[in-house]
């Protein structure tokens, strides 16, 4: 592992992540839901904060930033497309851009859908992708700004990453996502097994984030709209992948 990653529960059900590049000791934060738990984690680790990576403009991902900037003066990195409504950025990036966290290379992937200008951060050397409210454990973010077409395109990019990639998403929504997923594919045995695992983890207060991309590909209905077994499960054998995704997303909105 080139990065040490610490998961920090924030607010009611958000996650922030601290990433420390092992080679240089450089530390970045992904999203700033609130300052206190992040300051506490930095203090316990004895780490400074060199950079903050923002995924999208929603308050539950940025509201802790001013306090952290005041205390640590990190470089603030976010999407150029979203710069007009994000906190002031020191580095504004586009899809396909890369940046350095110490000696670790981060890649920017546009994952618009939940919001327009939502980005994910992929660190190939650590097999880690930070997806916030795009791809989530057993789910995907609600479409507040983008279209189903946009979200399907975004999820398809994430689905194409190596299957052993670890997915660090932004919320602990897995148990409720699981209930919906089971209504879509009640006969998916990988899903049934995963739900048992999720239930056990939640029963003892453990997070269900991160998850592996392989697990998501096998169980997350929003990554499975292109599969014949999913088309059969939803009775849309002749529909396009896009149409199946749109239908599943609409069912979830009304669930």
User: Exactly one of 21, 31, 50, 133 is catalytic; which is it?
Assistant: 133
> Is 56 an annotated catalytic residue?
yes
63 belongs to the catalytic site = no
Catalytic residue among 31, 56, 82, 122: 56
Helices (H), 145-206: 148-159, 174-184, 189-203
Catalytic residue (choose from 60, 82, 107, 118): 60
CB of 35 to Zn ion, least distance (A): 18
CB of 60 to Fe ion, least distance (A): 5
Is 43 annotated in the active site? no
Cβ at position 132, least distance to Fe ion in Å: 7
For the chain, the maximum distance between any two Cα atoms, rounded to a whole number of angstroms, is 57
* 61: annotated active-site residue: yes
Measured from the CB of residue 171, what is the shortest distance to Fe ion in angstroms? 6
133 part of the interface to Zn ion, by CB under 5 A: yes
73 is catalytic: no
Three-state SS string across 98-152, please? EEEECCEEEEEEECCCCCCCCEEEEEHHHCEEEEECCEECCEECCCCCCCHHHHH
Q: Which residues bind Fe ion (CB under 5 A)?
A: 60, 133
Residue among 31, 50, 57, 58 flagged as catalytic: 58
Q: Distance from CA of residue 249 to its chain's centroid?
A: 17
Measured CA to CA in angstroms, residue 179 lies from 48, 143, 191, 209, 248 at distances of: 40, 19, 10, 17, 14
User: Phi first, then psi: what are they for 183, rounded to 5°?
Assistant: -70, -30
Stretch 2-61 residues interacting with Zn ion (CB under 5 A): 58
- Whole-number Å distance between alpha carbons of 107 and 130: 10
Is 133 tagged catalytic?
yes
252 binds, among Fe ion, Zn ion, none (CB under 5 to 8 A by kind): none
Q: Which residues are catalytic?
A: 56, 58, 60-61, 114, 133, 171
Residue numbers at the binding site for Zn ion (CB under 5 A): 58, 133
């Amino acid at each position: 592992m080139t990065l040490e990653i610490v998961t920090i529960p924030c607010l009611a059900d958000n996650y922030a992540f601290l990433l420390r590049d092992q080679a240089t000791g450089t530390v970045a934060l992904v999203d700033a839901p609130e300052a206190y738990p992040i300051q506490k984690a930095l203090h316990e680790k004895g780490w400074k904060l060199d950079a903050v990576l923002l995924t999208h403009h929603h308050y539950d991902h940025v509201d802790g930033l001013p306090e952290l900037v005041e205390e640590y003066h990190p470089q603030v990195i976010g999407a150029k497309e979203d710069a007009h409504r994000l906190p002031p950025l020191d580095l504004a990036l586009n899809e396909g851009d890369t940046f350095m966290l110490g000696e670790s290379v981060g890649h920017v992937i546009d994952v618009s859908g939940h919001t327009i200008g939502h980005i994910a951060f992929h660190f190939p050397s650590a097999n880690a992708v930070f997806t916030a409210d795009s791809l989530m454990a057993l789910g995907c973010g609600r479409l507040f700004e983008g279209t189903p077409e946009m979200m399907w395109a975004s999820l398809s990019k994430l689905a194409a990453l190596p299957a052993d990639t670890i997915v660090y998403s932004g919320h602990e929504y897995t148990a409720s996502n699981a209930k919906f997923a089971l209504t879509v594919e009640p006969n998916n045995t990988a899903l049934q097994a995963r739900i048992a695992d999720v239930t056990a983890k939640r029963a003892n207060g453990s997070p269900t984030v991160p998850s592996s991309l392989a697990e998501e590909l096998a169980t997350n209905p929003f990554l499975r709209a292109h599969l014949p077994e999913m088309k059969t499960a939803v009775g849309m054998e002749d529909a396009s992948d896009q149409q199946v995704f749109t239908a599943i997303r609409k069912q979830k909105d009304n669930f």
